[in-house]
């Protein structure tokens, strides 16, 4: 045993690895996910007082495996024989195949990701299940990403696990013919994980760096698996170009700084260069897709030496293409801002009006924040104040709340 308290980064690193090992050994995703959560809870209770084991991964796999066996003891005779064999095995045998007794180098996270994107599941269920099992997000965080009630999302995850079990899915990479379809759902998952890390939906911090790093790591793995998939490359480029700005997104006190006010010398130029090179190369050979277009927009922003030098006409053209490829409320928001920067705030405000008829989105804080910004551009400080105030009330991230309230206060002072 070693001293020390396990960190959130350690939990996030170990959870999918342990789940992958248990699923590979026993094959039942639903039970495996439950027993891994029980093992993590046991570790959170015991390790702070008894010390962390020298091999945390092996400890968690052993505990989860034994709990899995306990759940299966009353099943059919074949399952009982497998359970008895598992109980007689030494602890090291519970380590994932290909790993040594110290935890090994094998990382099955991508395999687990694609298992969660099994074709027997609907796309929303694939995404929800993967965010829970691989991304480590809470049900509440996933519900916010889907704009759904938490209870509805919890039922979706439960049904998805049952469907995986009935489908008899195996813990292995799908055949090459199935990989592009599975990867489409997986990319959406990675995109949501990254976004949750880049702008957390709740809590005191703007960023959850462990999530953005994990999303980038997994997307690099996905690109290794499908090196000629333009959308995999596009998503990776988008993440790199966006993550490059993170060091400049907050003031020393953690307050949010919008893109136009950031000190661009603090951007990670290594990530900018990698992202620009990647999207430039990808656009030269791959069929166009939504992630590539978003990466191209991010590249235009990142290549500008200052906010005033941003090529807004080019961004507007890219958003016009993006809205044809992937129409949706968030795309409309970006398109509206670009239109306002090129043609004036009136054009942008007109583009926002249809979103008021979307029952899922009209209470989303970003709609009101963007409308407040465009009203402020138009000189209507009173209306901008009201929109910023509403956006602040609807936001669940404390840094975003504080920023929006500050904008509302600025409009009130300028109005008075």
Q: List the domain boundaries for the chain.
A: 8-98, 108-168+179-199+206-226, 337-416
Q: State residue 100's pLDDT score.
A: 35
**Three-class SS string for the chain?**
CECCCCCHHHHHHHHHHHHHHHHHHHCCHHHHHHHHHHHHHHHHHHHHHHCECCCHHHHHHHHHHHHHHHHHCCCCHHHHHHHHHHHHCCHHHHCCCCCCCCCCCCCCHHHHHHHHCCCCCCHHHHHHHHHHHCCCCCHHHHHHHHCCCHHHHHHHHHHHHHHHHHHCCCCCCCCCCCHHHHHHHHHHHHHHHHHHHHCCCCECCCCCHHHHHHHHHHHHHHHHHCCCCHHHHHHHHHHHHHHCCHHHCECCCCCECCHHHCCHHHCCHHHHHHHHHHHHHHHCCCCCCHHHHHHHHHHHHHHCCCHHHCCHHHHHHHHHHHHHHCCCHHHHHHHHHHHHHHHCHHHHHHHHHHHHHCCCCCCCHHHHHHHHHHHHHCCCHHHHHHHHHHHHHHCCEHHHHHHHHHHHHHHHHHHC
pLDDT of amino acid 107:
66
Give the per-residue pLDDT at 94.
Answer: 31
- List of residues 6+ apart from 47 with CB closer than 8 A: 5, 6, 53, 56
* Residue 353 or residue 214, greater confidence: 353
Chain-centroid distance of CA 140 in Å reads: 14
Q: Which residues contact 37 (CB under 8 A, 6 or more apart)?
A: none
Cβ partners under 8 Å of residue 13, min gap 6: none
Distance from C-alpha of 208 to C-alpha of 409, rounded to nearest angstrom: 28
Cβ neighbours of residue 257 closer than 8 Å, sequence gap 6 or more: 248, 249, 250, 251
Angle between helices 56-72 and 8-26 (to 10 degrees): 40
Q: Which two tokens stand for residue 131?
A: 């965010």
Residues 72-108: pLDDT tens digits?
A: 765 554 444 444 444 444 433 333 333 333 344 466 7
Domain 337-416 has CATH 1.25.40: yes
Residues 236, 183: Cα–Cα separation, whole Å: 13
d(CA 293, CA 22): 39
**pLDDT digits 0-9 by tens, 280-335:** 999 999 999 999 999 999 999 999 999 999 999 999 999 999 999 999 999 999 99
Mean pLDDT throughout 379-402? Answer: 96
Tell me: the pLDDT tens digits for 15-74?
A: 888 888 888 888 778 888 888 888 888 888 888 888 888 889 999 999 999 988 888 765
Mean pLDDT within 113-129: 86
Q: What is the pLDDT of residue 4?
A: 57
User: What would the mean pLDDT of 147-168 be, rounded to a whole number?
Assistant: 87
CA 181 vs CA 119, 192, 227, 228, 351: distances in Å? 8, 18, 15, 14, 33
- Residue 172 class from Cβ within 10 Å (0-12 exposed, 13-18 middle, 19+ buried)? exposed
């Amino acid at each position: 045993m070693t001293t020390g308290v396990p960190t959130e980064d350690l939990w996030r690193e170990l959870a999918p690895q342990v789940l992958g090992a248990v699923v590979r050994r026993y094959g039942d995703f639903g039970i495996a996910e439950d027993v891994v959560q029980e093992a993590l809870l046991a570790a959170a209770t015991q390790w702070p007082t008894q010390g962390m084991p020298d091999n945390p991964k092996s400890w968690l796999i052993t505990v989860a495996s034994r709990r899995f066996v306990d759940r299966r003891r009353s099943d059919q005779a074949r399952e009982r024989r497998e359970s008895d064999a598992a109980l007689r095995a030494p602890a090291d045998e519970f380590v994932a195949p290909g790993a040594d007794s110290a935890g090994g180098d094998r990382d099955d996270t991508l395999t687990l990701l694609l298992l969660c994107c099994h074709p027997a599941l609907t796309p929303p269920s694939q995404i929800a299940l993967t965010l829970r099992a691989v991304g480590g997000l809470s049900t509440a965080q996933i519900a916010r990403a889907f704009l759904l009630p938490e209870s509805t999302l919890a039922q979706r995850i439960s049904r998805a696990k049952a469907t995986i079990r009935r489908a008899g899915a195996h813990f292995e990479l799908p055949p090459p013919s199935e990989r592009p379809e599975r990867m489409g759902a997986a990319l959406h998952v990675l995109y949501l994980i990254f976004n949750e890390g880049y702008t957390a939906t709740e809590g005191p911090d703007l960023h959850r760096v462990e999530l953005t790093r994990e999303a980038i790591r997994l997307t690099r793995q996905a690109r290794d698996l499908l090196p000629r998939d333009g959308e995999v490359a596009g998503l990776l480029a988008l993440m790199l170009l966006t993550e490059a700005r993170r060091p400049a997104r907050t003031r020393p006190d953690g307050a949010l700084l919008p893109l136009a006010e950031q000190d661009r010398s603090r951007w990670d130029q290594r990530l900018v260069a990698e992202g620009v090179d990647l999207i430039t190369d990808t656009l030269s050979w791959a069929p166009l897709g939504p992630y590539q277009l978003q990466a191209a927009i991010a590249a235009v922003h990142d290549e500008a030496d200052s906010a005033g030098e941003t090529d807004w006409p080019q961004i507007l053209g890219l958003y016009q293409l993006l809205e044809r490829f992937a129409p949706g409320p968030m795309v409309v928001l970006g398109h509206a801002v670009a239109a306002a920067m090129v043609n004036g705030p009136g054009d942008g405000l007109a583009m926002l009006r249809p979103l008021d008829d979307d029952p899922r989105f009209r209470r989303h804080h970003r709609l009101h924040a963007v409308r407040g910004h465009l009203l402020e551009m138009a000189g209507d400080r009173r209306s901008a104040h009201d929109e910023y105030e509403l956006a602040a009330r609807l936001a669940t991230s404390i840094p975003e709340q504080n920023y929006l309230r500050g904008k509302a206060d600025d409009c009130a002072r300028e109005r008075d």
